[in-house]
């Protein structure tokens, strides 16, 4: 019996099934030769501007309906600023405080019965490119085909208390989004990605424990293994009277362990501010009604 309660939250990224990217009209597709599905906008050339794809917002509304969440009827686009070679503009166009999908909750089934997991919000954003590491030359090769592919990021509340619950939640979300037709949600193909936040606390503690983020989870199995390992790792630390460091860790699939990432991931000041190139979108009651009609329920 564990002396600690695990507190688990999930950030799920689902690639939306639109024909074109979120901010330009390049085609969204799998595979393809590097840098062949790009244009001045998604490669961030000087003078270019993002133009929001209507279907991306519509899918956001569909997702809200499917996930039993509220719709942000005045929804705003924001910039998240950071430097990384897979991000051509050095900012990701995303949403910060007025997302298209507001809070809600979904029901999951576990062996201990039914449980509700709350969704904090979900927002639309652009995906980054891909980096391939050239170990011979010691360089990284950047392919921007994936830049601008539309994502829906679903952020849960830290309501899960086991790896099993996390799995059930992820499977439920994926199922709902697939059924709504907004995403294929296939982890193996990359149309579904998840990061996990894990902390542990004593049952009687009022404060939450230190949160650790785990990235690089490429399958459902990896998520379960990573969570179990992390709970054990943090348990050992607290039992020894030590302190868990707040950080981002990478899951090493081969060894089944999480490892500290020395990258700047750990301390980011994203300097969020409203994207001046994209006007906030007003989603009317009529818009929602029309989209509801198109859904398969």
Partner 1 sequence: MLNTDLISYLANLSKIEVEDADKEKLVSEMSAIVELMDAMNEVTIEDDLNLNGEGISLSNLREDEVVESFNRELVLANASHKKDGFFVVPKIME
Partner 2 sequence: MALCDMGILELRQMLDSKEISSVELTQYYLDRIRELDSKVESYITVCDEEAILAAKRADEIIASGNTKMLTGIPIGVKDNICTKDILTTCASKMLYNFIPPYNATAIEKIKSQDAVILGKLNMDEFAMGGSTQTSYYKKTKNPYDITRVPGGSSGGSAAAMAAKLAVVTLGSDTGGSIRQPAAFCGVTGMKPSYGAVSRYGLVAFGSSLDQIGPLAKSSKECAEVLNVISGRDIHDGTSSRKQIDFTSELDCEIKGLKIALPKEFFGEGIDEEIRQAVLAAVKKYEKMGAEIVEVSMPSLKYAIQTYYLLSSAEASSNLSRYDGIKFGYCTPKAKTYEERIMRTRKEGFGDEVKRRILLGTYALSSGYYDAYYKKALYLREKIKAEYAKIFESCDVMITPTAPTTAYKIGDSYNDPVKMYLADICTVTVNIAGLPAVNTTCGYDKDNMPIGMSIVGKAFDDAKVLGVADAFEKNFMSVDPSL
- Residue 44 within binding range of partner 2, rule CB under 8 A: yes
- Residue 111 within binding range of partner 2, rule CB under 8 A: no
- Residue 132 within binding range of partner 2, rule CB under 8 A: no
- Residue 30 within binding range of partner 1, rule CB under 8 A: no
Q: How far is the CB of 52 from partner 2 (least distance, A)?
A: 6
- Residue located via tokens 């179990």: 228
Q: Which is nearer to partner 1, 22 or 244 (CB)?
A: 22
Please name which of 115, 231, 103, 94 lies closest in space to residue 169, comparing C-alpha atoms: 115
- Residue 263 within binding range of partner 1, rule CB under 8 A: yes
- Residue 216 within binding range of partner 1, rule CB under 8 A: no
Instruction: Yes or no: say if 157 and 117 are a contact pair by the CB < 8 Å rule.
Output: yes
H/E stretch holding 63 reads: helix 54-66
Residue 226: Cβ within 10 Å count: 27
Binding piece for partner 1, criterion CB under 8 A, among 20-28, 112-120, 170-178, 181-189: 20-28
Partner interacting with residue 76 (select from partner 1, partner 2, none; CB below 5-8 Å by kind): partner 1
Residue from 20, 48, 73, 110 binding partner 2 (CB under 8 A): 48
DSSP 237-257: HHHTT--PPPEEEEEETTTTE
Distance (Å, whole) CA 71 – CA 123: 11
Residue from 27, 109, 112, 189 binding partner 1 (CB under 8 A): 27
- Residue 243 within binding range of partner 2, rule CB under 8 A: no
Residues in 148-207 at the binding interface with partner 2, rule: CB under 8 A: none
Binding piece for partner 2, criterion CB under 8 A, among 110-118, 210-218, 238-246, 264-272: 264-272
Residue from 2, 68, 74, 232 binding partner 1 (CB under 8 A): 74
The angle that helices 163-179 and 54-66 make with each other, rounded to 10 degrees, is 130
Q: Which is nearer to partner 2, 60 or 104 (CB)?
A: 60
148's tokens: 């601008």
Q: How far is the CB of 58 from partner 2 (least distance, A)?
A: 17
154's tokens: 């679903």
Instruction: Yes or no: say if 71 and 64 are a contact pair by the CB < 8 Å rule.
Output: yes
- Residue located via tokens 């750990």: 266
Distance (Å, whole) CA 54 – CA 46: 24
Count Cα atoms within 13 angstroms, Cβ side, for 232: 10
Q: Which residues bind partner 1 (CB under 8 A)?
A: 18-20, 25-27, 33-40, 43, 45, 51-58, 74, 76, 83, 85, 90, 98, 131-132, 138-144, 261-263, 269, 271, 274, 279-284, 287
């Amino acid at each position: 019996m564990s002396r600690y309660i695990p507190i688990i939250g999930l950030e799920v990224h689902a690639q939306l099934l639109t024909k074109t990217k979120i901010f330009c009209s390049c085609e969204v597709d799998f595979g393809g030769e590097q840098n062949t599905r790009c244009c001045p906008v998604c490669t961030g050339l000087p003078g270019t501007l993002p133009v929001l794809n209507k279907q991306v917002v519509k899918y956001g509304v569909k997702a809200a309906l499917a996930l039993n969440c509220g719709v942000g009827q005045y929804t705003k686009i924001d910039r998240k600023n950071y430097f990384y070679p897979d991000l051509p503009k050095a900012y990701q166009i995303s949403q910060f405080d007025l997302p298209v999908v507001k809070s809600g909750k979904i029901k999951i089934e576990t062996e201990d019965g039914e449980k509700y997991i709350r969704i904090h919000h979900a927002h639309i954003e652009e995906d980054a490119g891909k980096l391939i590491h050239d170990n011979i030359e010691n360089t990284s090769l950047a392919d921007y085909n994936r830049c601008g592919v539309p994502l829906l990021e679903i952020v849960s509340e830290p309501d899960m208390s086991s790896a099993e619950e996390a799995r059930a939640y992820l499977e439920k979300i994926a199922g709902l989004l697939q059924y709504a037709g907004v995403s294929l949600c296939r982890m193996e193909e990359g149309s579904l990605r998840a990061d996990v936040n894990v902390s542990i606390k004593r049952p009687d503690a009022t404060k939450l424990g230190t949160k650790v983020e785990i990235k690089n989870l490429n399958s459902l199995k990896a998520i379960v293994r990573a969570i179990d390992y992390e709970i054990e790792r943090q348990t050992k630390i607290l039992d020894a009277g030590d302190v868990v460091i707040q950080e981002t860790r990478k899951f090493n699939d081969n060894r089944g362990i999480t490892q500290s990432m020395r990258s700047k991931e750990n301390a980011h000041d994203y300097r969020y501010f409203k994207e001046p190139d994209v006007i906030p979108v007003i989603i009317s009651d009529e818009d929602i009604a029309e989209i509801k009609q198109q859904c398969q329920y």
